[in-house]
């Protein structure tokens, strides 16, 4: 079998393709990191309210997770982009369509944040539930209110428990940010496709994107390992930190 293909790795360093790759990498990171901040906030709230002993709060949490986990991400991004501006009050819808700065970017960020938030919430719920019940009871016996119990006892331990699954969620948000290309955010995957379409050098274009995604994965994993070590409670839980 012989491939009929003209190699040209130099194309990646030519103008404008070199700039396209960097711009793509920038937008991938921008979408993923901004969305992660939102996901972390939403996930913290959802994960917490799914474990409290207030039925209607748990109900809200469960419904949120069910909605955001059972609709494909690409459908969710279309809902945010095409449908939400039509369903909100007219003046706000007009603002979203006409005046909102970087509409594609912020739509993608909101969508990814809300979606990943549901997943982070599930992880946190599992983390809190993994804490032996004695901790909660001890906190109550000491006269801590429910809020104090969460703030000083359950959440600090729960968050430490879930660092490994959070690593894969954080990696997932970088990969999922590629879905933003469907509404016109020209991130890394979109740029590599664009280079392929302009130059027919698909091998080179997709290879550079692949290498950059692997680099992101490596950096994120190293970073999370540092966080895991820094936050480990001495002598209490090994938490996988070596």
Interacting residue ranges for other proteins, rule: CB under 8 A: 1, 3-5, 66-67, 69-76, 78-79, 82-83, 86-87, 90, 171, 174-179, 181-182, 189, 192-193, 196, 202, 206, 209-210, 213-214, 216-217
Q: 110 or 154, CB closer to other proteins?
A: 110
Contact 75, 84 (CB under 8 A): no
Between 51 and 178, name the residue whose CB sits nearer to other proteins: 178
CA atoms within 13 A on the CB side of 39: 30
End-to-end CA separation in angstroms for the chain: 48
Q: Provide the minimum distance between the beta carbon of 73 and other proteins in the complex, in angstroms, as a whole number.
A: 7
In whole angstroms, how close is the CB of 104 to other proteins at the nearest point?
16
Q: For other proteins, which is the closer residue by CB, 74 or 237?
A: 74
Instruction: Select 3 or 147, whichever has its Cβ closest to other proteins.
Output: 3
Q: For residues 24 and 158, which CB has a smaller minimum distance to other proteins in the complex?
A: 24
Q: How far is the CB of 210 from other proteins (least distance, A)?
A: 6
CB within 8 A of 23, min separation 6: which ones?
186, 191
Closest distance between other proteins and the C-beta of residue 199, in Å? 12
To other proteins, the closest distance from the beta carbon of 55 in angstroms equals 19
Residues ≥6 apart with Cβ < 8 Å to 38: 109, 110, 112, 113, 114, 117
> Cα–Cα–Cα angle for 186, 72, 44, nearest 5°?
90
- Rounded Cα distance between 174 and 171, Å, is 5
From 178, 199, 182, select the one nearest 17 (Cα to Cα).
Answer: 199
Minimum distance, C-beta of residue 72 to other proteins, in the bound complex (Å): 4
- Give me the sign of the Cα torsion angle 110, 115, 119, 122: positive
The C-alpha angle with vertex 238 and arms to 237 and 242, in degrees rounded to 5, equals: 160
Nearer to other proteins, 140 or 164 (CB): 164
């Amino acid at each position: 079998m012989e491939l009929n293909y003209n190699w040209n790795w130099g194309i990646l360093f030519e103008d404008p393709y070199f700039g396209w790759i960097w711009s793509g990498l920038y937008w991938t990171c921008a979408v993923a990191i901004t969305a992660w901040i939102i996901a972390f906030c939403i996930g913290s709230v959802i994960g917490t309210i799914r474990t409290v002993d207030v039925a209607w709060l748990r109900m809200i949490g469960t419904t949120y997770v069910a909605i955001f986990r059972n609709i494909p991400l690409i459908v969710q991004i279309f809902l945010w982009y095409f449908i939400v501006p039509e369903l909100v009050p007219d003046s706000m819808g007009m603002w979203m369509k006409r005046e909102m700065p970087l509409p594609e970017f912020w739509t993608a960020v909101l969508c990814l944040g809300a979606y990943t938030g549901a997943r982070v919430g599930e992880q946190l719920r599992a983390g809190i539930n993994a804490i032996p019940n004695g901790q909660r009871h001890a906190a109550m016996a000491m006269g801590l209110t429910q809020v104090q119990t969460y703030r000083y006892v359950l959440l600090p331990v729960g968050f430490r428990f879930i660092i490994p699954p959070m690593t894969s969620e954080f990696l997932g948000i970088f990969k999922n940010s590629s879905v933003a290309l469907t509404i016109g955010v020209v991130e890394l995957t979109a740029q590599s496709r664009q280079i392929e379409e302009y130059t027919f050098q698909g091998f080179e274009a997709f290879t550079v994107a692949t290498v950059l995604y692997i680099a992101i994965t490596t950096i994120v994993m190293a970073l999370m390992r540092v966080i895991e070590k820094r936050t480990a409670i001495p002598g209490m839980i090994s938490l996988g930190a070596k």
